[in-house]
Chain A
Amino acid sequence: MPYQQKLVTMAGYTVLLITALIFAFLVQQSWPFIVEHVSLEFFTGDRWLPVSLPPVFQIRGFLVSSAMITALAIVVGVPFGVLAAVSLAELLPHGISVVFRSIFEVTAGIPSVVFGFLGLKLVAPAVADFFNLPTGLTGFSAGIVLSVMILPTLISLSEEALRNVPREYAEASYALGASRWQTIWRVVVPTARGGIAAAVLLGIGRAIGETMTVLMIAGGRLATPGSIFDPMRPITALIASEVNNAARFSVQYHALFTAGLMLFLITLAVNAVAASVIVGKKGR
């Protein structure tokens, strides 16, 4: 193997190793808590009293909050993202679609704290007024803002999947007398569905992991939310708000690492499914 090839291979293994080390560190830091305190109640209870005596650590509320907000972001974001990708790849003239794409890419670069600020100032008050809620800082507001934040991921990956559909498929469709519209919806989009599914899964991963925005606008209520219109605190916001102040090697410190480990495992599972979708598509 030439040395360049070796170098590239090594880089790949290094990234893998770093990920493995992060996982090992998470497990190591959460181990004292897992051994001593994790029981069924850790997952099923929703009392989180880190500075009480004795402290109580139960994470159901945070898990449910993360799931609710992510689900809303996907339900709202995916139709927009996929349709925008179709228009970029198939409908808009090349020049315009290049301009639009670079605008979406700029969106991807906006720091999440800016989205959080916009959510705080614009989305939350509007949500409170529109639905006549006691407060606008709810999972709904956070999910709406997140649906915008995952658009760049959804659009660029879906668009790539659509562009990778061989030109011959469309040409064959046109040759059979199909209109442009029929060709897009009956041939191009179904062929790209594996790639679009992968885009959606990576969007889910992005939404679950988002921290700053949900910390700022989800409302920070620790109980398990009864509906998406309740204030809530997803697991990322929990970790962000408390990890700085937990004394090292205290129970709270290890509990937060355990919450982080849960988050890591969930994201890993989502990304693994995404990867298998992508690999499966290639194998076909």
Chain B
Amino acid sequence: MKKIVMLVLVTALALVAIGCQPQKTTLDVTGSDTMVNLGAALAEEFMKTNRNIEVAVSGGGSGAGVAALIEGRTNIAQSSRDLRPEERARAAARGTLHEIIVGWDGLAVAVHPSNPVNELTLAQLGQIYRGEVRNWKELGGNDAPIVILSRDTTSGTFVFFREFVVQERGQKRDAEYHPDTMMMPSTEALYQEIARNPNAIGYVGLGFLRPTIKTVGIKADDASAAVLPSVESVLAKTYPLARPLYFFVVGELTGALKTYVDFVLSDKGQQVVRSLEFVPIR
């Protein structure tokens, strides 16, 4: 009898001891540079109310995030582009693939403030980036060469813009950026060159707009009106150059993972999305 009481006591003590341990679950979130500040802000807000879950967010590019997801090095891949077919296949080979849209991003096309060009059609943008139009004169601007800027090949923005604009939403499947395109190592570098160079054109996320660069209105086609990028125009789906922002998860959506994803999609999470100049899902 005594032995049993001892056993129960010891077991209970052990259980209490375990209960006292701060049992923290860590969620790794990595990927898109466009989304890294968003991810960090979401994680911070989330951890205020969920002290037992730690969300660690890092950037590196959508490609890096998807690569990490495929290799099992992260719980959530943040991506500003859809998965490529072979990535989808490799991810699916590891378990059920969940694709969650957590917000929207509009890409703004920007030029130097002194550039007289105010609006471009998606087709004209494509011509610029394929190198078919080389002088601003052909677009109603100054007689000056167009300096084409792009984000680096590993950026999600690069891939989105290539498919959406350079390849005209997949209609020109073999089209590529013109070889003269200057690949900028960061959004900051790209933004600085536009602010300094009267001949430059580049694309940046909506969150990166500043008064020292001029945003160009985008027309879906010749017949439609030019629309400036803004939260309202993306939400109203009138701005033609907008894209969804994804969370990709492989495997069961349970436990801390589910708690976090639910939070991101909740009103509170979407407020965070909005506060970072992205566009919420509703």
A242 touches B179 (CB 8 A): no
Contacts A220-B152, A220-B185, A246-B63 given; indicate if A51 touches B159 (C-beta within 8 A): yes
Contacts A137-B193, A221-B183, A233-B183 given; indicate if A242 touches B152 (C-beta within 8 A): yes
Residues of A within 8 A of B60 (CB): 244-245
Alpha-carbon gap, A247 to B66, bound state (A): 8
Contacts A51-B153, A51-B154, A134-B199 given; indicate if A245 touches B64 (C-beta within 8 A): yes
Which partner residue on chain B sits nearest A237 by CB separation? Answer: B185
Which partner residue on chain B sits nearest A56 by CB separation? Answer: B176
CB within 8 Å of B: which of A234-250? 237, 240-242, 244-248, 250
Residues of A within 8 A of B184 (CB): 220
Residues of B within 8 A of A233 (CB): 183
B147 touches A134 (CB 8 A): yes
Q: Which of A13-21, A30-38, A42-50, A172-180 contacts B (4 or more CB under 8 A)?
A: A42-50
Assess whether A199 is interfacial by the CB under 8 Å rule.
no
A135 touches B193 (CB 8 A): yes
Assess whether B84 is interfacial by the CB under 8 Å rule.
yes
- How far does the Cβ of B87 sit from chain A's closest Cβ, in whole Å? 8
Contacts A134-B145, A220-B152 given; indicate if A46 touches B183 (C-beta within 8 A): no
Residues of A within 8 A of B154 (CB): 50-51, 241-242, 244-246
- How far does the Cβ of B158 sit from chain A's closest Cβ, in whole Å? 8
Chain A interface, DSSP helix/strand/loop, else mixed = loop
- How far does the Cβ of B241 sit from chain A's closest Cβ, in whole Å? 20
Assess whether B200 is interfacial by the CB under 8 Å rule.
yes
Interface size class of B (residues with CB under 8 A): 20 to 34
Alpha-carbon gap, A213 to B241, bound state (A): 33
Assess whether A96 is interfacial by the CB under 8 Å rule.
no
Which partner residue on chain B sits nearest A241 by CB separation? Answer: B152
Assess whether B71 is interfacial by the CB under 8 Å rule.
yes
Alpha-carbon gap, A75 to B87, bound state (A): 47
Select which of A49, A220, A245 is within 8 A of B182 by beta carbon: A220
Residues of B within 8 A of A136 (CB): 196-197
Residues of B within 8 A of A222 (CB): 179, 181, 183
Assess whether A215 is interfacial by the CB under 8 Å rule.
yes
How many CB-defined contacts (below 8 Å) exist between A and B?
90
Assess whether B189 is interfacial by the CB under 8 Å rule.
yes
Residues of B within 8 A of A50 (CB): 153-154
CB within 8 Å of B: which of A164-195? none
Which partner residue on chain A sits nearest B85 by CB separation? Answer: A53
Assess whether B144 is interfacial by the CB under 8 Å rule.
yes
A248 touches B159 (CB 8 A): no
- How far does the Cβ of A252 sit from chain B's closest Cβ, in whole Å? 9
A223 touches B179 (CB 8 A): yes
Alpha-carbon gap, A53 to B185, bound state (A): 23
CB within 8 Å of A: which of B152-199? 152-154, 158-159, 176, 179-185, 189, 192-193, 196-197, 199
B144 touches A134 (CB 8 A): yes
Select which of B67, B181, B183 is within 8 A of A245 by beta carbon: B67
Residues of B within 8 A of A221 (CB): 179-183
- How far does the Cβ of A198 sit from chain B's closest Cβ, in whole Å? 33
Alpha-carbon gap, A59 to B193, bound state (A): 26
Residues of A within 8 A of B66 (CB): 247
Residues of A within 8 A of B (CB): 46-53, 61, 120, 125, 128, 134-137, 215-216, 219-223, 231, 233, 237, 240-242, 244-248, 250
Which are the 7 A-B pairs with shortest beta-carbon distances?
Answer: A245-B154, A223-B179, A247-B67, A220-B183, A245-B63, A245-B61, A245-B64
Please give 12 more A-B residue pairs, beta carbons under 8 A apart, in addition to A49-B153, A221-B179.
Answer: A46-B179, A51-B84, A53-B84, A120-B192, A216-B189, A219-B182, A221-B183, A233-B183, A241-B153, A244-B154, A245-B154, A247-B63
